[in-house]
Amino acid sequence: MATRTKSRQANTFRNPLLEGVRWSEKCSSRLSLIWSILPQYLRNLIISSAVLFFASAIKGDWIIIAVHLLKQLNGASTNKANEAQRIDSVHSILASYNLHGLTYFLIAAVVGSYLIYFSIGGFIHWYFYIKRRDKAHEWKCQPEKFLSPELELHEIIVGASSLLVVSLFSGIIACYAMNSGKGLTIYYRFDEYGWFWFVAQIGVVFVYQDYSTYWIHRIFHWPWLYRNFHKLHHTYKQPTAFSVTASHPVEIIFTQLVMLVPIVTVPVHWAPFYVVVVYAYCQGILGHSGVNFKSFWWQPWQPDTIFHDNHHQYFHVNFGFNIYYWDILHGTYRLKDRVYSEDIFYGMGKGLSEVPAEVLLSDVVERNLENPQAYRNNVHRYKLEHQEYGQFIVNNKIKTN
Ligand SMILES: [Zn+2]
Ligand SMILES: [Zn+2]
């Protein structure tokens, strides 16, 4: 522990950029003091709100939500009605594309997203990875391992770069929605399509988004796409909340576009639509946090954090996000008697008898790095006892020799 602390300090000293982004580490003692005097309910409220705000920023959606809220409060009905109000009063080229005032929207989207990303993201990072670092066995999915300071910096740089791309895109959508929104199928009057649809669309949008992102994710794990795009996101074998946006810009913008398909195809009220989007992003943050969160009783579809943490530790398995049935349905759910690694593609792994002895041995070591407390009833579902794998080590050695 002393050596690790020393090496962390040495790395921090060497890298001035790392000093800059580690504000929470520097303010730790002051933050701890403030935190210690807060009552428990307030602490819970702060940490939950932090995840919620962070979720609204990871793809810049906060500015789109703000625009729709504004239109709702101004009594907008559908987007068509608004277009008629704008068309006579604007003349610039941007205005002809219904993008009047685009510069302001882009600046606001980027500045706002970065402010939330660094301040709230920094707070979440402090709360787990600095304040409770020494008690990792109580809360961390992989308690023995942390990202190196260089990888922490790497994920923040990659995450911030992708955040720039998606925030600019969200800024364009927000501007377009504010000016006209023509072509968008978003509506504002709650009962425009009936109350049944107002509620039912929550499930429809959720299932559509989750199933399509399962497939996009799975396809990005095909060898060529993985090596050229998605491997970047898998640089982080022990993900943190900052890993959630640390993906290749091509991949993240593609996923964002697919998530937005409902707003140009079916009538959706902006409020339930963005409730689903923000819920998905909240779970994305928790899934990448590396913290052993468990889903609540009212989320029977939702996997625990360890599900996606396993995905980062073992690569080509558990491709789903918020509904784990997709993996069970398609045979990509992690199984105890299968071995998974970065070199074994397509999500099915290999049998214990099919891999060389050294691969099986390193898999056993990897499994032992997992925290049993991250699983239900504190029972490690994938731990292999010697009697379960020993014979294969002997057989596989003979086979490979
Ligand atoms: Zn992946
Ligand atoms: Zn991930």
Ligand nearest to the CA of 316: 1
Higher pLDDT, 234 or 32: 234
pLDDT above 70: residue 7 = no
Q: With pLDDT > 90 as the criterion, what percentage of the chain qualifies? A: 66
Query: How much distance in Å is there from the Cα of 221 to the middle of ligand 1?
Result: 6
pLDDT range class, residue 10, cuts 50, 70, 90 = very low
- Who's near 199: CB < 8 A, 6+ residues apart? 272
User: For residue 192, is it within any domain?
Assistant: yes
Which ligand is located closest to the Cα atom of residue 243?
Answer: 2
Residue 331 lies in a domain: no
* CA 317 – ligand 1 centroid, Å: 8
Does residue 134 form part of some domain?
A: yes
Q: Is the pLDDT of residue 328 over 70?
A: yes
Q: How far is the CA of 42 from the centre of ligand 1 (A)?
A: 35
- For ligand 2, the distance from its centroid to the CA atom of residue 289, given in whole angstroms, is 10
Give the model's pLDDT for residue 293. Answer: 94
Distance 170 CA to ligand 2 centre (A): 21
- What is the overall mean pLDDT for the chain? 88
Instruction: Give the pLDDT confidence score for residue 24 in this predicted structure.
Output: 60
Which ligand gives the minimal distance to the CA of 315? Answer: 1
Domain count, the chain: 1
For residue 326, how far is its CA from the centre of ligand 1 (angstroms)? Answer: 15
Which tokens is 158 given? 């990659």
- In angstroms, what is the span from residue 120 Cα to ligand 1's centroid? 25
State in Å: Cα 102 to ligand 2 middle: 32
* Residue 383 covered by a domain: no
Is the predicted pLDDT of residue 211 greater than 80, yes or no? yes
Quote the ligand 1 centre to 143 CA distance (angstroms).
21
Domain assignment present for residue 372? The answer is no
CA of 232 to the centre of ligand 1 (A): 9
How far away, in angstroms, is 23 Cα from ligand 1 center?
Answer: 29
CA 244 – ligand 2 centroid, Å: 6
Kindly give the distance from the C-alpha atom of residue 342 to the centroid of ligand 2, in angstroms, as a whole number: 14
Instruction: Report the Cα–Cα distance between both ends of the chain, in Å, rounded.
Output: 39
223: domain range? 2-293
pLDDT in tens, 342-377: 999 999 999 999 999 999 999 999 999 999 999 999
84-133 residue pLDDT tens: 444 444 446 667 777 888 999 999 999 999 999 888 888 888 888 888 88
pLDDT digits (tens, 9 = 90+) for 270-286: 999 999 999 999 999 99
Q: For residues 100 and 381, which has the higher predicted lDDT (pLDDT)?
A: 381
Q: What is the pLDDT of residue 14?
A: 52
Predicted confidence (pLDDT) at residue 210 exceeds the cutoff of 50: yes
Q: Would 298 be classed as within a structural domain?
A: no
C-alpha of residue 315 to centroid of ligand 2, in Å: 9
For the entire predicted model, the pTM comes to 0.87
For residue 178, the CA-to-ligand 2 centroid distance in Å is 33
**Which ligand has an atom closest to residue 231 CA?**
1
Average pLDDT rounded to a whole number, residues 280-295: 93
pLDDT of residue 88: 47
Residue 103 placed within a domain: yes
Residue 312 Cα to ligand 1 middle (Å): 7
Residue 116 covered by a domain: yes
How far apart are the CA of 284 and the centre of ligand 1, in A? Answer: 12
Q: What is the pLDDT of residue 27?
A: 73
Q: Ligand nearest 237 Cα, by number?
A: 2
Task: Quote the ligand 2 centre to 92 CA distance (angstroms).
Answer: 42
- In this predicted structure, what is the pLDDT of residue 9? 47
d(CA 249, CA 161): 8
The alpha carbon of 233 and the centre of ligand 1 are apart by a number of angstroms equal to 7
